[in-house]
């Protein structure tokens, strides 16, 4: 029974990672850049939820406001910092992204202070069937994450915009020749990624009711790990990688001897996967041309 | 002996002060502050500041090798530093405490050797993924490496765990900064000579175009690993020096943010510009320490916002394809030439012509390796007149 509880908790945590990883993988696939500030969008969402929840006391409304605010932030970042560098060397884009992440964390710290804040959104209690017990928070997180992933898959594969996104990630020049506005698609991608990050932030607060300026960096890096494990650029890969990483992390934390080394194990896994199969589980191999 | 003689005459012939200016500045600073310190004219807080500047510059130089000259991003240089710091401190505390108390200088030298070697070994391990991975992937691997090292040090009781290690032999503050400056000078000589040698050209060739470098016979794997190892050794030595300045330090100090701070120094100094790196590392350390006493609490973050904004603005200005024309028109060199022309015209009433001989000489002067940005600019220059083919090669093709 304990095994099952750990498994469900792991899936739920993995759902959160998968939501964040989707943002990374979509931006990587379409804009061909690693958005280092993606983790900090979670933090922006976290603080927005905190402010609005303290004002109104409505968790869902606060999450909605956070989604809108994060979309605005993400699109602004894309327009101001990343767009001028389209076509520049990847190193420059990466350093700019790091700068943006640094800026967001510093801004949050100067506005809200560096101390951690408790935000308890909701208590739904725990579901207990015999020895099996799992909190309703976990169930809500897991089911919403799965619903969002299904919706996103349908959106990307069935709608016109989604297909345009796939086309841009396949070949940007050819897509623009076919009349797809690459800039708009990239903006939409950033908007979707930021919205997912805000939702992930809400679930993260549900799990650990703690808001701080660095709350987004660790989940962000882990989600990137998840995206790489699944194969960066691939949407099903991000989901798979996220769930896998969540289960591994929860399993490590459940074993007392391994618990302090959980982060080391996850990152060790990342390094090994990158060395053995850099394209990840579901990624496609790319040939470098001169 | 004859070889040495020709080397010496060649050296005399090609000697230019501007190529060695940083040696003089660092040595001058060492002598100046050493003299002032010996005379007792410097406050303790200033000596500590000098120490911080010293190891800050050393680590920034180490990262500059990887970011500026190899063209790969490392987000884990704080980890190399922490390996040096913890091992160095552990050896001084537990392995040769008798030596540390009787002759601290020898103990520090030994610690530097051990710390540097250990960090170098890890640099080799991190250099291996660098052979297969590039850009974003490598950056994330180095970041992961940094986190792993931090977690390991936090959980090894020998190194004090999360509470940190106590340095029982904090080096005398009145003389440590001179040692740090001496190590800095040595590092500078090593880095600059490496970069100006044929090996350095091979490394920058890899940075500018790996495939082209490989096709001209550059052993890419060898140079990538070599640069990572050398950089890690230097960072490890910087870490041992850092440990010497502390009474106690925690593994959590060497986190991701610390690596980013080093990166900020390198980027603000101009990637691939050693002098710039040194100047920016010194200035940033100075500002951090001085502002740290003025701005306390959350206001201290103001300077971080400032750094972040400068970092973003500078990278966009230097790399944005849309600003290419603007850059070539209004850069520092042209600005200086314009000012010079204006001065000449104002005083001599004749137009200053650039001396063609000097121009040729400047073109042949490869003592300063062009940075990545300059190199891209050079390589992307379109020699076909624009009127023939409209809109060609004007940025933004998105590759």
pLDDT digits (tens, 9 = 90+) for A55-75: 888 888 899 999 999 999 999
Closest CA to B380 of B398, B371, B392: B392
Closest CA to A21 of A242, A198, A181: A242
Measured between alpha carbons, how far is residue B149 from residues A98, B83, B152, B223, B240 in Å?
Answer: 21, 8, 5, 25, 16
Give the pLDDT mean for B325-347. Answer: 75
Give the pLDDT mean for B190-215. Answer: 90
Lowest mean pLDDT among A253-267, B42-56, B281-295, B383-397: B383-397
Q: Which of A107-121, B106-120, B147-161 has the highest mean pLDDT?
A: B106-120
Structure token digits, residue B11: 């050296």
The minimum CA-CA distance between A120 and chain B, rounded to whole Å, is 25
Q: Which structural domain, as residue segments, surrounds residue B36?
A: 20-319
What is the pLDDT at residue B6? 78
Residue B254's CB is within 10 A of a number of other CB atoms, namely 26
Residue A285 domain flag: no
B297 and B210 inside one domain? yes
Q: Find chain B residues with C-beta within 8 A of A83's C-beta.
A: none
Residue B304's CB is within 10 A of a number of other CB atoms, namely 21
Last residue of a domain, one of B280, B296, B319: B319
Give tens-digit pLDDT for A35-47: 889 999 999 999 9
Residue A140 domain flag: yes
Look at chain A and report how many structural domains it folds into: 1
B376: nearest CA in chain A? A89
Give tens-digit pLDDT for B41-77: 888 888 889 999 999 999 999 999 999 999 888 988 9
The minimum CA-CA distance between A261 and chain B, rounded to whole Å, is 7
Say if CB A264 and CB B151 are below 8 A apart: yes
What is the pLDDT at residue B222? 92
B233 and B348 inside one domain? no
What is the pLDDT at residue B146? 92
Residue A133 domain flag: yes
The yes-or-no verdict on residue B17 having pLDDT over 80 is: no
Residue with tokens 């790319």: A286
Angle at B14 between CA B12 and CA B17, to 5 degrees: 85
Pick A172's closest partner by Cβ from B72, B211, B398.
B398
Angle at A249 between CA A210 and CA B82, to 5 degrees: 80
Q: Find chain B residues with C-beta within 8 A of A268's C-beta.
A: 144, 148
The yes-or-no verdict on residue A17 having pLDDT over 50 is: yes
Give the pLDDT mean for B195-219. Answer: 90
Sign of CA dihedral B324, B325, B327, B333: positive
Q: Find chain B residues with C-beta within 8 A of A117's C-beta.
A: none
B368 and B264 inside one domain? no
CB contact B388 to A (< 8 Å)? no
A267: nearest CA in chain B? B144
Say if CB A138 and CB A5 are below 8 A apart: no
The minimum CA-CA distance between B46 and chain A, rounded to whole Å, is 28
What is the pLDDT at residue A100? 93
Say which CATH number the domain at A13 has: 1.10.3470
In B249-308, the residues whose Cβ lies within 8 Å of chain A are 256, 260, 263-264, 267, 271, 298-299, 301-302, 304-305, 307-308
Residue B193 domain flag: yes
Give the pLDDT mean for B185-200. Answer: 92
Pick B141's closest partner by Cβ from A92, A172, A271.
A271
Band (pLDDT 50/70/90 cuts) for residue B397 is very low
Mutation site, A87, A186, A275, interface B, largest B CB count within 10 A: A87
Say which CATH number the domain at B283 has: 1.10.3470
Q: Which structural domain, as residue segments, surrounds residue A241?
A: 2-276
More confident residue, B79 or B382: B79
Q: Find chain A residues with C-beta within 8 A of B295's C-beta.
A: none
In B185-214, the residues whose Cβ lies within 8 Å of chain A are 211-212
Lowest mean pLDDT among A85-89, B164-168, B172-176, B393-397: B393-397
Last residue of a domain, one of B296, B319, B342: B319
Band (pLDDT 50/70/90 cuts) for residue B399 is very low
What is the pLDDT at residue A275? 80
DSSP-assigned letter for residue B172 = P
Residue A260's CB is within 10 A of a number of other CB atoms, namely 16
B353 and B281 inside one domain? no
Give the pLDDT mean for A229-238. Answer: 85
Q: Which helix (H) or strand (E) holds B248?
A: strand B248-249
What is the pLDDT at residue A65? 94
More confident residue, A100 or B374: A100
Band (pLDDT 50/70/90 cuts) for residue B363 is very low
B373: nearest CA in chain A? A89
Give the pLDDT mean for A159-171. Answer: 91
Whether residues A99 and B256 touch (CB distance < 8 A) is answered with no
Rounded to 5 degrees, φ, ψ at A3 are -60, -45
Whether residues B316 and A96 touch (CB distance < 8 A) is answered with yes
pTM strictly above 0.80: yes
A265: nearest CA in chain B? B148
Pick A274's closest partner by Cβ from B133, B151, B316.
B133
Say if CB B115 and CB B85 are below 8 A apart: yes
B130 and B209 inside one domain? yes
What is the pLDDT at residue B353? 58
Residue B10 domain flag: no
Pairing of strands A132-135, A126-129: antiparallel
What is the average pLDDT value for chain A, to the nearest integer?
Answer: 87
Whether residues A260 and B151 touch (CB distance < 8 A) is answered with yes
CA distance B278 to B269: 7
Give tens-digit pLDDT for B234-285: 999 999 999 999 888 999 889 888 998 899 899 888 888 898 999 999 999 9
CA distance A18 to A226: 7
The yes-or-no verdict on residue B121 having pLDDT over 70 is: yes
Give chain A's length: 290
3-state secondary structure of A57: coil
3-state secondary structure of A216: coil
CB contact B140 to A (< 8 Å)? yes
Say which residues have a Cβ less than 8 Å from residue B239's Cβ, sequence separation at least 6. Answer: B55, B59, B80, B81, B82, B83, B84, B85, B86, B88, B115, B119
Give the pLDDT mean for B389-393. Answer: 49
The minimum CA-CA distance between B254 and chain A, rounded to whole Å, is 15
What is the average pLDDT value for chain B, to the nearest integer?
Answer: 83
B338 and B310 inside one domain? no
B129: nearest CA in chain A? A275
Beta bridge partners of A183: none
Residue B15 domain flag: no
Residue with tokens 């191999």: A285
Pairing of strands A126-129, B165-166: unpaired
Lowest mean pLDDT among A127-131, B28-32, B229-233, B356-360: B356-360
3-state secondary structure of A224: helix
What is the pLDDT at residue B358? 52
Look at chain B and report how many structural domains it folds into: 2
Q: Which of A230-234, B210-214, B375-379, B395-399 has the highest mean pLDDT?
A: B210-214
Closest CA to B258 of B50, B114, B63: B63
B172 and B66 inside one domain? yes
Q: Which of A122-136, A247-261, B380-394 has the highest mean pLDDT?
A: A247-261
CB hemisphere CA count around A143 (13 angstroms):
5
Say if CB A165 and CB A141 are below 8 A apart: no
What is the pLDDT at residue A286? 63
CB contact B399 to A (< 8 Å)? yes
Residue with tokens 């640099």: B123
Whether residues B129 and A274 touch (CB distance < 8 A) is answered with yes
Pick B312's closest partner by Cβ from A103, A110, A221.
A103
Mutation site, B69, B144, B318, interface A, largest A CB count within 10 A: B144
CA distance B327 to B333: 11
CA distance B82 to B78: 6
B356 and B231 inside one domain? no
CA distance B53 to B369: 25
Give the pLDDT mean for B302-312. Answer: 86
B180 and B311 inside one domain? yes
B263: nearest CA in chain A? A95
B89 and B197 inside one domain? yes
Whether residues A270 and B311 touch (CB distance < 8 A) is answered with no
Band (pLDDT 50/70/90 cuts) for residue B122 is very high
Q: Find chain B residues with C-beta within 8 A of A219's C-beta.
A: none
Closest CA to A282 of A29, A27, A14: A29
Sign of CA dihedral A115, A121, A126, A127: negative
Band (pLDDT 50/70/90 cuts) for residue B395 is very low
Q: Find chain A residues with C-beta within 8 A of B143's C-beta.
A: 221
B24 and B102 inside one domain? yes
Q: Find chain B residues with C-beta within 8 A of A109's C-beta.
A: 298, 301, 304
Band (pLDDT 50/70/90 cuts) for residue B398 is very low
Say which residues have a Cβ less than 8 Å from residue A172's Cβ, sequence separation at least 6. Answer: A32, A182, B398
Whether residues B148 and A221 touch (CB distance < 8 A) is answered with no
Whether residues B263 and A84 touch (CB distance < 8 A) is answered with no
The minimum CA-CA distance between A125 and chain B, rounded to whole Å, is 34
Pick A113's closest partner by Cβ from B71, B212, B298.
B298
Angle between helices A262-276 and A235-254 (to 10 degrees): 140
Whether residues B154 and A268 touch (CB distance < 8 A) is answered with no
Structure token digits, residue B88: 């160095």
Whether residues A264 and B135 touch (CB distance < 8 A) is answered with no
Residue with tokens 């310190």: B37
Give the pLDDT mean for B359-381. Answer: 61
Say if CB B270 and CB B277 are below 8 A apart: yes
Band (pLDDT 50/70/90 cuts) for residue B379 is low
B105 and B253 inside one domain? yes
Whether residues A103 and B147 touch (CB distance < 8 A) is answered with no
Mutation site, A25, A77, A96, interface B, largest B CB count within 10 A: A96
Residue B212 domain flag: yes
Band (pLDDT 50/70/90 cuts) for residue A287 is low
Whether residues A91 and B395 touch (CB distance < 8 A) is answered with no
* Burial annotation A178-217 (CB, 10 A radius, 16+ → b, else e): eebebeebbbbbbbbbbbbbbbbbbbbbbbeeebbbbbbb
Give tens-digit pLDDT for A168-226: 988 888 999 999 999 999 999 999 999 999 999 999 888 888 888 888 888 888 898 88
User: What is the per-residue DSSP string for B257-293?
Assistant: HHHHHHHHHHHHT-TT-HHHHHHHHHHHHHHHHHHHH
């Amino acid at each position: 029974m304990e095994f099952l509880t750990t498994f469900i908790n792991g899936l739920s945590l993995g759902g959160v990672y998968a939501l964040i990883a989707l943002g990374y993988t979509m931006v990587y696939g379409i804009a061909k850049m690693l958005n280092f500030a993606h983790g900090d969008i979670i933090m922006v969402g976290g603080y927005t939820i905190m402010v609005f929840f303290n004002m109104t006391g409505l968790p869902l409304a606060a999450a909605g406001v956070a989604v809108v605010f994060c979309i605005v932030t993400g699109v602004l970042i894309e327009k101001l910092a990343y767009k001028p560098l389209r076509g520049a060397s990847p190193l420059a884009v990466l350093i700019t992204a790091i700068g943006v992440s640094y800026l967001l964390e510093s801004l949050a710290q100067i506005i809200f202070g560096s101390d951690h804040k408790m935000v308890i959104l909701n208590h739904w209690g725990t579901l207990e069937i015999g020895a099996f017990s799992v909190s309703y928070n976990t169930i809500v997180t897991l089911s919403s994450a799965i619903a969002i992933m299904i919706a996103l898959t349908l959106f990307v594969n069935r709608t016109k915009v989604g297909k345009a996104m796939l086309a841009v990630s396949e070949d940007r020049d050819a897509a623009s020749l076919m009349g797809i506005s690459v800039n708009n698609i990239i903006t939409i991608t950033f908007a979707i990624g930021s919205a997912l990050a805000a939702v992930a932030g809400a679930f993260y607060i549900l799990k650990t009711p703690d808001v701080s300026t660095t709350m987004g960096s660790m989940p962000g890096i882990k989600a990137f790990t998840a995206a790489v494990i699944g194969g960066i650029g691939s949407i099903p890969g991000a989901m798979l990688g996220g769930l896998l990483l969540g289960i591994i992390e929860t399993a490590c934390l459940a074993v007392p001897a391994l618990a302090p080394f959980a982060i080391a194990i996850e990152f060790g896994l990342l390094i090994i996967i990158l060395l053995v199969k850099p394209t990840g589980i579901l990624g496609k191999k790319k040939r470098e041309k001169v | 002996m004859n070889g040495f003689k020709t080397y010496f005459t060649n050296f005399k012939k090609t000697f230019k002060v501007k190529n060695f200016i940083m040696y003089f500045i660092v040595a001058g600073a060492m002598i100046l502050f050493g003299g002032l310190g010996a005379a007792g004219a410097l406050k303790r807080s200033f000596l500590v500041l000098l120490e911080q500047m010293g190891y800050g510059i050393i680590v920034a130089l180490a990262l500059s090798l990887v970011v500026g000259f190899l063209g790969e991003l490392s987000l884990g240089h704080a980890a190399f530093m922490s390996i040096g710091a913890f091992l160095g401190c552990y050896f001084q505390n537990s392995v040769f405490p008798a030596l540390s108390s009787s002759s601290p200088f020898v103990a520090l030298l030994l610690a530097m050797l051990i710390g540097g070697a250990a960090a170098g070994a890890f640099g080799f391990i991190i250099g291996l993924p660098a052979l297969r991975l590039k850009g974003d992937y490598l950056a994330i691997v180095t970041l992961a490496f940094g986190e792993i090292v931090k977690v390991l040090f936090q959980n090894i009781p020998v190194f004090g765990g999360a509470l940190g290690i106590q340095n029982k032999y904090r080096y005398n503050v009145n003389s440590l900064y001179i040692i740090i400056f001496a190590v800095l000078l040595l590092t500078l000589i090593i880095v600059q000579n490496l970069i100006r040698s044929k090996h350095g050209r091979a490394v920058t060739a890899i940075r500018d175009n790996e495939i082209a470098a490989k096709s001209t016979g550059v052993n890419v794997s060898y140079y990538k690993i070599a640069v990572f190892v050398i950089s890690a050794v230097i960072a490890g030595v910087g870490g041992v020096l850092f440990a010497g300045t502390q009474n106690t330090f925690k593994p959590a100090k060497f986190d991701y943010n610390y690596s980013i701070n080093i990166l900020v120094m390198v980027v603000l100094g101009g990637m691939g510009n050693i002098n710039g790196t040194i100047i920016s590392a010194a200035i940033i350390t100075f500002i951090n320490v001085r502002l740290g006493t003025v701005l306390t609490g959350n206001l201290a973050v103001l300077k971080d916002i400032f750094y972040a904004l400068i970092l973003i603005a500078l990278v966009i200005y230097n790399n944005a394809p849309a600003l290419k024309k603007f850059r070539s028109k209004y850069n520092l060199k042209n600005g200086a030439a314009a000012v010079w022309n204006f001065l000449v015209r104002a005083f001599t009433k004749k137009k200053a012509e650039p001396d063609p001989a000097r121009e040729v000489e400047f073109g042949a002067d490869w003592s300063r390796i062009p940075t990545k940005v300059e190199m891209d600019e050079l390589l992307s220059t379109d020699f076909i007149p624009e009127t023939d083919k409209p809109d060609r090669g004007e940025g933004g093709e998105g590759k």
